[in-house]
């Protein structure tokens, strides 16, 4: 009875198993955003930005585009951290 070898294996993953190395975990795990946009359910301001750590509404917006833009800016500023320029 013949046994399969890597060269004529019906499973292509067996062929790659010998040469592929597992992915290394990221050095810095992806941080979760500190600010997210949620609907308010109110007739005038439809969207709100919430600081997740404090579960506090930061701002309210009529337009989703503006709310998302501000939320993105807040999360980007948080990711960059505080800048201390000393000379």
Instruction: Tell me how many helices (H) and strands (E) the chain has.
Output: 2, 3
Q: Six-digit token pair at 40?
A: 């308010």
- Split at pLDDT 50, 70, 90, the class of 85 is very low
Q: Are 67 and 79 in contact (CB under 8 A)?
A: no
pLDDT recorded at residue 12: 54
pLDDT recorded at residue 47: 97
Q: Are 66 and 49 in contact (CB under 8 A)?
A: no
pLDDT recorded at residue 79: 75
In angstroms, the CA 26 to CA 73 distance is: 24
Q: How far is CA 33 from CA 26, 52, 65, in A?
A: 17, 8, 18
- Residue 59: how many CA atoms within 13 Å on its side-chain side? 12
Residue 85 gets which letter from DSSP? Answer: -
Q: Which residue has the higher pLDDT, 7 or 84?
A: 7
Q: What's the pTM?
A: 0.57
pLDDT recorded at residue 32: 76
Q: Which residue has the higher pLDDT, 25 or 69?
A: 69
pLDDT tens sequence across 19-63: 555 666 556 556 678 999 999 999 999 999 999 999 999 999 999
């Amino acid at each position: 009875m013949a046994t399969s070898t890597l060269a004529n294996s019906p499973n292509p993953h067996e062929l790659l198993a010998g040469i592929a190395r597992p992915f290394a975990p990221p050095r810095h795990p992806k941080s979760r955003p500190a600010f997210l946009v949620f609907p308010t359910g109110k007739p005038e301001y439809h969207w709100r930005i919430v600081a997740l750590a404090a579960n506090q509404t930061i701002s309210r917006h009529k337009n989703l585009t503006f709310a998302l833009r501000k939320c993105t800016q807040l999360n980007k500023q948080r990711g960059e951290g505080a800048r201390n320029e000393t000379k």
